Amino acid sequence: MQWQPDWGLRFRMGFTMFLLFALYIVFVGILTLYFGNLLVPVVLMGGFSLFQYFFSDKLALRSMGAKTVSEDEYPRLHAQVGRLSQQADLPKPTVAVANSRTPNAFATGRSPSNSAVCVTTALLDTLDDDELEGVLAHELAHVKNRDVAVMTIASFLSTLAFIIVRWGWLFGGRGRNQAPVIVAIIVSLLVWVVSFFLIRALSRYREYSADRGAVTITGKPSALASALMKISGRMDQVPEEDLRDQAEMNAFFIIPIRSGFIGKLASTHPPTEKRIEQLRELEREMER
């Protein structure tokens, strides 16, 4: 397959981003009107976001306890990543492995030239070569689409809204007239709640896009579908403490760690069944 745009998916992502940034414009306008000391939180969160943007690869690997591995340590993994990177027209990313009983993988980094692909030891033990290549290609599609940078930028003002909700009284001072501060906190709460779900919708659309990109790279939609089914099935066998320890990495993983109804509602990933259905449709397209 050639790297072709999915215009329906792009429209949904574009519309979601339009709603998100329209919400942010209203948010900034209201805060500017009601909240006199907005400069401090903006500067602080701007600095934090820049730090996250430039060091996201190292932060993500460290949070998972992953380590960079050499070709001598994992020759098969390096060979697969190198070959798939060439097929995707990407520089070879840093290759890392995390010692974990959770079968999963993620990609991180602000750009293709500053990216890393990490797999867990459980994933290497679970998948065959074709399935592993499907997962690696999915992560490389995230790198090619610059998804880490997109999601970091999209979540900047949402994070600011959360900070104002939590620390608004400190930013607003302790004068007698607290009405502007109360308005700003209420508006920030509404913005954070709405943006929370919009950002997760955007993340789910980008997962579909990465699945399609993986098929473009490997030409094997059935291999990725099989990998998703295996990983999803193994998740039920992972100890609860391991799931809790790694839940904060949900936005990066190829399969999210869910927790009940609310976890599914706010998931960063679409249902595995729907992803497999899309992959089967892509396979039918290739056969035609």
133, 139, 277, 285: the catalytic one is 139
CA pseudo-torsion sign 74, 57, 276, 229: positive
> Which single residue is written with the structure tokens 């993983």?
253
Taking the C-alpha atoms of residue 255 and residue 105, their distance in angstroms, rounded to an integer, is 8
HSE toward the beta carbon, residue 163, CA cutoff 13 A: 18
Q: Residue 22: exposed, middle, or buried by beta-carbon count in 10 A (0-12, 13-18, 19+)?
A: exposed
- Locate 91 and state its tokens: 């520089």
> Which single residue is written with the structure tokens 């600011």?
160
| Contacts for 127 with CB less than 8 Å, ≥ 6 apart | 103, 135, 227, 230, 231
Name the phi and psi angles at 105, rounded to 5. -155, 155
Annotation marks residue 241 as catalytic: no
Residues serving a catalytic function are 139
